Amino acid sequence: MEMEIKKDIYELAEEISSLLEEGRYSEAKKQVNSLHPVDVAEVIASLDTRKQVLVFRLLNKNQAIAVFEQLDFEQQENLLRHFTDEGVAQILNQMSPDDRTELFDELPAKVVKKFLNLLEPAQRNIAASMLGYPENSAGRIMSPHIIDLKEFYTVEQALNRIRRLNPPEELAYTAYVIDAERHLRGIATLRNLVLASPEEQVGEIMNRDFVFVFTDDDQEKAAQIIQKYDLLAVPVVDQEGRLVGAVTIDDAIDIIEAEATEDLHRLAAIVTTEDEYLRAPARQKIKSRFLWLAILLVMGTFTSFVMQNFENVLQSVIALSFFIPMLTDAGGNVGSQSTTLVVRELALGKLEGRYLWKMILSEALIGGVLGVLLGIVAMARVVFLRESLLLGLVLAISVGIIVFISNLIGIFLPILFKKIKLDPAIAATPVITTIVDIIGVFIYLQIAQSLLPL
């Protein structure tokens, strides 16, 4: 019995690493073949290339495939480079088609072409047709090897067919009932089949109410359906409505996790990459952050233009400049909040039709109230510190207006982006901050100019 989850994969990696260095291969072999493939993949990820290849060669055939499927693309690519064509062919032919498609996605076209030629004809057809679907579509991550049944099968025949197909865990629990043209007629879960009596017909026990996605639909849509309806898999049909595969829950959970991370990164103006951030090389990390930072920096100088135009105001009351960071921060913070909320709701598909307008109205109200409240706080703070009622008033009014406007900008920008088919998350919070700065400084200095005796 494995006592809880492995505590430190790095300890394990060191253990195996020293076994390899001391040439104690049979011990290493025993260990890596007794571990869970997920853990072996993590161990491999933390070894150098030479040892990665060594460990991989020690794995039994089934374990090798399972471990390979769990590795990152770079590691998969790296390992394949060290294998003979025969070794590559063995792995690629036995990988699950969805994992293989994901790998091919990352490889240069030339390499994919070469690899496709190493596949058996049946696998080559599957791989080529999956690569034909759009990027991030359900067709790319579906599993084509699903359990298909006919309505007239008895439950006993159905169970025998499942035994013959010998599906892996992730595909074992949902059977798709099709007609002669492979049109989907219903779904029978393994639970339905096991609980039914052997002589019943599949058509009697199957569920005729089901949801499905098209091959071209977004992966996220498939994942959201699985989550919403508590399914283990959602069937995928082609444009003619013929069943071609299913997206399974293990992929859905990864998609939901990845989308959330992607939103987070975009909101912080980080160009998202497919790879895990932590393992990406420093050069790539700099690249994914620099571009936006530079654009924002240049955009930020527009605030200086605004201030330059009010040079005389600032010159006569230098104290005005002291509160600019506080004001722009307040606007930026409020705008970031509303952007974050809207981006998340948009990602979860919750802002549709009239609900959008309801929210915009409600946010206008919320922004107004927050503006008044924060205006009072600002006034209190300034008066308390500087005892100039007039400057306090200028600040209070400015904070109020800036908060109200920033809140709405934070709402509208992502919605606008979505409408013009851009990713709403690019309306990243730093972008909002910068826009709000320019507007905020203008409002502030305008109000100061009108109210202060200059």
Q: Which residues of 364-379 are buried (b: 16+ CB within 10 A; e: fewer)?
A: eebbeebbeebbeebb
Smallest distance, its own copies to C-beta of residue 61, A: 19
Which CB sits closer to its own copies, 112 or 341?
341
Which CB sits closer to its own copies, 133 or 292?
292
Task: Classify burial at 382, counting beta carbons within 10 Å of its beta carbon; exposed 0-12, middle 13-18, buried 19 or more.
Answer: buried
Give the Cβ contact number of residue 303 at 10 Å.
18
Angle at which helix 49-58 crosses helix 9-21, to 10 degrees, equals 90
CA dihedral (287, 288, 290, 295) positive or negative: positive
Which CB sits closer to its own copies, 119 or 158?
158
Smallest distance, its own copies to C-beta of residue 128, A: 27
Smallest distance, its own copies to C-beta of residue 240, A: 14
Q: Return d(Cα 82, Cα 88) in angstroms, integer.
A: 9
Q: Which candidate, 120, 164, 127, places its Cα nearest to that of 144? A: 127
Smallest distance, its own copies to C-beta of residue 339, A: 8
Task: Classify burial at 50, counting beta carbons within 10 Å of its beta carbon; exposed 0-12, middle 13-18, buried 19 or more.
Answer: exposed
Please select the residue that binds its own copies; options are 51, 100, 140, 344, rule is CB under 8 A. Answer: 344
Stretch touching its own copies by CB under 8 A, among 57-65, 134-142, 276-284, 412-420: 276-284
Compose the 382-411 pattern: x for residues touching its own copies by CB under 8 A, - for all others: x--x-------------x---x--------
Smallest distance, its own copies to C-beta of residue 146, A: 14
Tokens of 308: 């330059």
CA distances from residue 366 to 101, 304, 400, 408 in whole angstroms, order as listed: 47, 30, 12, 10
Please select the residue that binds its own copies; options are 178, 270, 396, 411, rule is CB under 8 A. Answer: 270
Tokens of 78: 């790296």
Which CB sits closer to its own copies, 118 or 314?
314
Stretch touching its own copies by CB under 8 A, among 19-27, 92-100, 106-114, 319-327: 319-327
Pair 395, 327: CB distance under 8 Å: yes
Residues numbered 188 to 247 that lie near its own copies (CB under 8 A) are 189-191, 194-195, 208-213, 225-230, 232
CA distances from residue 412 to 322, 396, 409, 418, 439 in whole angstroms, order as listed: 30, 25, 5, 10, 15
Which CB sits closer to its own copies, 76 or 88?
76
Residues numbered 278 to 317 that lie near its own copies (CB under 8 A) are 278, 282, 285-286, 289-290, 292-294, 296-298, 300-301, 303-304, 307-308, 311, 314-315
Tokens of 420: 């013009």
Which CB sits closer to its own copies, 297 or 454?
297
Please select the residue that binds its own copies; options are 109, 122, 180, 318, rule is CB under 8 A. Answer: 318
Please select the residue that binds its own copies; options are 360, 366, 451, 452, rule is CB under 8 A. Answer: 366
Pair 196, 153: CB distance under 8 Å: no
* Contact status: 323 vs its own copies (CB under 8 A): yes
Smallest distance, its own copies to C-beta of residue 102, A: 15
Q: Return d(Cα 217, Cα 137) in angstroms, integer.
A: 5
Residues numbered 23 to 42 that lie near its own copies (CB under 8 A) are 34, 36, 38
Residues numbered 131 to 170 that lie near its own copies (CB under 8 A) are 159, 162-163, 166-167, 169-170
Please select the residue that binds its own copies; options are 59, 95, 267, 448, rule is CB under 8 A. Answer: 267
Please select the residue that binds its own copies; options are 25, 132, 198, 355, rule is CB under 8 A. Answer: 355
Which CB sits closer to its own copies, 27 or 259?
259
Q: Return d(Cα 293, Cα 29) in angstroms, integer.
A: 48
Smallest distance, its own copies to C-beta of residue 119, A: 24
Smallest distance, its own copies to C-beta of residue 113, A: 31
Residues numbered 418 to 437 that lie near its own copies (CB under 8 A) are 429-430, 433-434, 437
Which CB sits closer to its own copies, 85 or 276?
276
Beta strands 213-214 and 184-189 are unpaired
Q: Residue 95: in which H helix or E strand, if any?
A: none
Which CB sits closer to its own copies, 119 or 406?
406
* Contact status: 321 vs its own copies (CB under 8 A): yes
Q: Which candidate, 74, 24, 4, 83, places its Cα nearest to that of 44? A: 74
Q: Which candidate, 382, 400, 404, 380, places its Cα nearest to that of 391? A: 382
